[in-house]
Amino acid sequence: MQVASGHVISFHYILRSEAGAVIDSSIRRPPFTYLHGYQVLNIAGLEEELAGHVVGEEVVLDLPPAQMFGDYDPQKIQSVPQDLFPPTVALTAGNRYTTTTPDGKELSFRVIDIQPDAVILDFNPYSSELTMSRLSASTQSA
């Protein structure tokens, strides 16, 4: 079966930096599932790239970060009071963290700097960390 409009498609992905380091992966999570052809993916051009490929085929895409995640937004750099973080969480500048908001949404951020009373966070999705993104997707029918 080929990936085509109206098909429910699931895929696992591995997101790598230009140097090959793994930035994110769905391997230990359930696959991402979507209805192909309805432009529901947040990654510009991904549906077009997957269209026509045979289910089970690995697709490797090299994309600039802006195409993967949108343009870098300096408004997404925020200073957050340090007391919002539990004392058991040891933050490290440069590391990326994920948390769940009270309404159940997953929120990802990178720690830029740790100051005595505040933590400077970057809520841009990876775009400030990559010069080139490599997305490997293995498709399957759902």
3-48: pLDDT as tens digits? 888 888 888 888 777 677 787 788 888 888 888 888 877 676 778 8
Cα 77 from Cα 110, distance rounded (Å): 9
- The reported pLDDT for the residue numbered 114 is 95
**pLDDT average, residue stretch 104-114:** 89
Cα 54 from Cα 89, distance rounded (Å): 44
Cα 81 from Cα 118, distance rounded (Å): 4
- The reported pLDDT for the residue numbered 19 is 72
The encoded tokens of residue 116 equal: 């005595």
Cα 89 from Cα 12, distance rounded (Å): 29
From the CB of residue 54, how many other CB atoms can be counted at a distance below 10 Å?
10
Domains delineated in the chain: 8-70+129-141 (3.10.50.40), 74-122 (2.40.10.330)
